[in-house]
Amino acid sequence: MRRLRYSKLNNILSSRLLKFCIVGASGTIVNMGVLFLLSEYVRIQYFLSSLVAIELSILSNFYLNLLWTWGDRVGETSTWEKLFRYHMGVAGTAFLCNYLILLALTEWFGMYYLISNIIGIAVGTISNFLINDRWTFRQSVLSEDS
């Protein structure tokens, strides 16, 4: 039993978590790129452009995670329900961690907004993975028994 748990954990850490981090890196590029473009070229205040950047990176990450990271988990829920769950899950990580840390570090500590944004993204990564693995893309009961 202990060996089975270790094997299962090792499999998650070696492939699913790695895929999640690669998807997350692409989402970070989307987030940072949109935040920079909207803030610097369109001249939208960073605290507003960050909301657009976060949402676009959430959508990008959702579809990549759906197709690649958790593509082996068909599950019993529709793509729309998974998208809803994904949004609810990242609401606690992306919006609370990323956005609030961005605002706090930039406004209260005078940190450059792009650095604050990266720190906010990093803080939410592990909790985001766990929420998605256990809730958004959870394996169906039928699949676990097989």
Provide mean pLDDT across the span 54-76.
Answer: 90
Residue 54 placed within a domain: yes
What's the domain range around 55? 37-139
Residue 71 placed within a domain: yes
Q: What pTM did the predictor assign?
A: 0.75
Residue 59 placed within a domain: yes
Residue 146 placed within a domain: no
| Neighbour-count burial for 14-40, b at 16+ CB within 10 Å, e otherwise | eebbeebeebbeebbebbbebbbebbe
Q: Residue 139: is its pLDDT beyond 70?
A: yes
Residue 99 placed within a domain: yes
Domain total of the chain: 1
Residue 9 placed within a domain: no
Q: Residue 145: is its pLDDT beyond 70?
A: no
